[in-house]
Amino acid sequence: MARRYDSRTTIFSPEGRLYQVEYAMEAISHAGTVIGVLSKDGIVLAAERQATSSLLEQNIGSEKIYEMNDNVVA
Protein backbone atom coordinates (compact mmCIF):
# COMPACT_ATOMS: atom_id res chain seq x y z
CA MET A 1 0.00 0.00 0.00
CA ALA A 2 2.93 2.36 0.62
CA ARG A 3 3.71 2.38 -3.10
CA ARG A 4 0.61 4.51 -3.72
CA TYR A 5 2.21 7.39 -1.85
CA ASP A 6 5.97 7.13 -2.31
CA SER A 7 6.46 7.87 -6.01
CA ARG A 8 7.03 11.59 -5.39
CA THR A 9 8.90 13.33 -2.60
CA THR A 10 6.21 15.96 -2.04
CA ILE A 11 3.30 13.60 -1.37
CA PHE A 12 2.52 12.73 2.23
CA SER A 13 1.13 9.41 3.42
CA PRO A 14 -2.21 9.35 5.27
CA GLU A 15 -0.18 9.22 8.51
CA GLY A 16 1.61 12.48 7.58
CA ARG A 17 4.97 10.90 6.75
CA LEU A 18 7.23 11.31 3.73
CA TYR A 19 8.23 7.82 2.66
CA GLN A 20 11.24 9.05 0.68
CA VAL A 21 12.72 10.53 3.87
CA GLU A 22 12.15 7.26 5.73
CA TYR A 23 13.80 5.29 2.90
CA ALA A 24 16.81 7.63 3.02
CA MET A 25 17.15 7.27 6.79
CA GLU A 26 16.99 3.47 6.47
CA ALA A 27 19.67 3.49 3.77
CA ILE A 28 21.93 5.65 5.94
CA SER A 29 21.59 3.22 8.85
CA HIS A 30 22.89 0.38 6.64
CA ALA A 31 25.81 2.34 5.14
CA GLY A 32 29.40 2.21 6.35
CA THR A 33 31.25 5.08 7.98
CA VAL A 34 32.96 7.60 5.68
CA ILE A 35 35.15 10.56 6.62
CA GLY A 36 36.58 13.29 4.43
CA VAL A 37 39.44 15.67 5.26
CA LEU A 38 40.13 18.82 3.25
CA SER A 39 43.56 20.45 3.37
CA LYS A 40 45.30 23.08 1.30
CA ASP A 41 47.14 20.29 -0.57
CA GLY A 42 44.17 18.06 -1.34
CA ILE A 43 41.36 15.88 -0.07
CA VAL A 44 41.47 12.55 1.77
CA LEU A 45 38.45 10.25 1.86
CA ALA A 46 38.42 7.16 4.06
CA ALA A 47 35.63 4.59 4.07
CA GLU A 48 34.91 1.59 6.26
CA ARG A 49 34.81 -1.67 4.35
CA GLN A 50 31.96 -3.65 5.81
CA ALA A 51 32.08 -7.42 6.12
CA THR A 52 29.96 -9.08 3.47
CA SER A 53 28.33 -12.46 3.32
CA SER A 54 30.01 -15.16 1.26
CA LEU A 55 26.59 -15.64 -0.35
CA LEU A 56 26.63 -12.12 -1.79
CA GLU A 57 27.48 -11.84 -5.48
CA GLN A 58 30.58 -9.65 -5.61
CA ASN A 59 30.25 -8.77 -9.31
CA ILE A 60 27.08 -6.75 -8.71
CA GLY A 61 27.90 -3.04 -8.38
CA SER A 62 28.03 -2.56 -4.63
CA GLU A 63 31.06 -0.26 -4.53
CA LYS A 64 30.49 3.43 -3.92
CA ILE A 65 34.01 4.68 -4.73
CA TYR A 66 35.41 4.44 -8.23
CA GLU A 67 38.91 5.29 -9.46
CA MET A 68 38.68 7.66 -12.43
CA ASN A 69 42.46 7.87 -12.97
CA ASP A 70 45.62 7.93 -10.83
CA ASN A 71 44.66 11.29 -9.29
CA VAL A 72 40.85 11.25 -9.14
CA VAL A 73 38.31 9.03 -7.39
CA ALA A 74 34.56 9.54 -7.27
| pLDDT category of residue 23 using cuts at 50, 70 and 90 | confident
Mean pLDDT across the chain: 76
pLDDT at 39: 92
pLDDT at 68: 77
Could you give the percent of the chain with pLDDT greater than 90? Answer: 12
pLDDT exceeds cutoff 50 at 55: yes
Length of the chain, in residues: 74
Rounded average pLDDT over 43-52: 82
